[in-house]
Amino acid sequence: METNKKIKIELLAPARDASSGIEAIKHGADAVYIGAAKFGARTAASNSIEDISKLIAFAHKFNAKIYITLNTLLFDEELEDAHKMIWQLYNSGADAFIIQDMGILKMDIPPLPLIASTQTHNTSPEKIKFLEDVGFKRAILARELSIDEIKKIRSQTNIELETFVHGALCVSYSGQCYLSYALGGRSGNRGACAQPCRLPMDIYDSDGKLIQKNKHILSLKDLNLSEHLNELLQAGVTSFKIEGRLKDINYIKNIVSFYRQKIDAILEDKYTPSSTGKVSHFFIPDSEKTFNRDYTSYFLHGRNSDISSFETPKSKGKYMGKISDTEKKYFKLDSNAKFHSGDGICFFDKNKTLHGTYISKIDGEKIFPDTMLHLAIGTEIFRNSDIEFERILKTETASRKILVQLFLKESEDGFQLEAKDESDNTASIIYSVKLTEAENLIKSTDALYKQLSKSGNTIFEIQKVFIPENWTKFIPISTINNARRKILEKLETEIDKSYIREEKIIIPNSIPYPEKELFFNANISNKMAEQFYRRHGCNINEYALETTKKVKDKTVMTAKHCPRFSLKMCPRYHNADSSSSFYLKINEINLSIEFDCKNCEIKINY
The answer to whether residue 40 scores a pLDDT higher than 90 is: no
Nearest CA among 104, 98, 96, 74 for reference residue 189: 74
Helix (H) or strand (E) segment spanning residue 389: helix 387-393
Q: Once rounded to an integer, what is the mean pLDDT over residues 84-105?
A: 98
Checking if the pLDDT of 160 tops 60, the result is yes
Neighbours of 489 (CB within 10 A): 13
pTM summary value: 0.95
Distances (CA, A) of 224 to 255, 293, 318: 10, 11, 14
Mean of pLDDT over the chain: 95
CA distance 372 to 362: 14
Dihedral over Cα of 383, 386, 389, 393: its sign? positive
User: Which amino acid would we find at residue 61?
Assistant: K
Smallest CA-to-CA distance from 110 within 98, 99, 94 is with: 94
- Tell me: pLDDT of 103 over 90: yes
Helix/strand/coil for 433:
coil
Q: What confidence score (pLDDT) does residue 5 get?
A: 85
Sign of CA dihedral 581, 144, 515, 535: positive
**CA distance linking residue 31 with residue 576, whole number of Å:** 47
Give dist(CA 448, CA 477) in Å, integer: 8
Let me know: does 528 contact 464? Beta carbons within 8 Å. Answer: no
CB-based contacts of 77: which residues, under 8 Å, 6+ apart? none
Position 1 scores a pLDDT of: 40
Q: For residue 140, is pLDDT > 60? A: yes
When mean pLDDT is compared across 255-264, 387-396, 475-484, 576-585, the lowest value belongs to 576-585
CA distance 92 to 48: 11
- Looking at residue 87, its pLDDT comes to 98
Whether residue 560 contacts residue 304, with contact meaning beta carbons closer than 8 Å, is answered with no
Q: CA 75 → CA 78, 103, 535, 555, distances in Å? A: 5, 10, 19, 22
Map 100-138 to HEC letters: CCHHHHHCCCCCCCEEECHHHCCCCHHHHHHHHHCCCCE
Are the C-beta atoms of residues 206 and 300 closer than 8 Å to each other? no
DSSP 555-574: EEEEES--HHHHTT--HHHH
Instruction: Tell me the β-bridge partners of 9.
Output: 273
Q: Could you say which DSSP state residue 447 is in?
A: H
DSSP string, 39-76: SSS-TTS---HHHHHHHHHHHHTTT-EEEEEE-S---G
pLDDT digits (tens, 9 = 90+) for 174-183: 999 999 999 9
Q: Give the separation between CA 310 and CA 93, rounded to whole angstroms.
A: 44
Min mean pLDDT across 128-132, 422-426, 466-470, 566-570 is at 566-570
Angle, in degrees to the nearest 10, between helices 477-498 and 441-452: 30
Please give the Cα distance from 337 to 335 (Å, whole number): 5
CA distances 389 to 208, 224, 396, 500, Å, are 48, 20, 13, 39
Domains of the chain: 7-169+221-275 (3.20.20.70), 316-393 (2.40.10), 402-498 (no CATH)
For 126-145, b/e burial (b = at least 16 CB within 10 A) is ebbbbbbebebbbbbbbbbb
Indicate if the pLDDT at residue 471 is higher than 50.
yes
Distance from chain centroid for Cα 216 = 25
Q: 549: pLDDT confidence band, cut at 50, 70 and 90?
A: confident
Pairing verdict, β 222-224 and 160-167: antiparallel
| 82: amino acid identity, one letter | A
E runs forming strands in 455-528:
460-466, 473-474, 517-518
Does the pLDDT at position 43 exceed 80?
no
Model confidence pLDDT, tens digit, residues 235-283 = 999 999 999 999 999 999 999 999 999 999 999 888 999 999 999 999 9
* Residue 37: pLDDT over 50: yes
pLDDT higher than threshold 50 for residue 376: yes
Return the pLDDT at 3: 52
Nearest Cα to Cα of residue 519 among 555, 494, 474? 555
Report the candidate in 439, 443, 434, 445 with the shortest Cα–Cα distance to residue 471: 445
Contact residues for 273 (Cβ-Cβ < 8 A; gap 6+): 8, 9, 10, 11, 30, 263, 264, 267
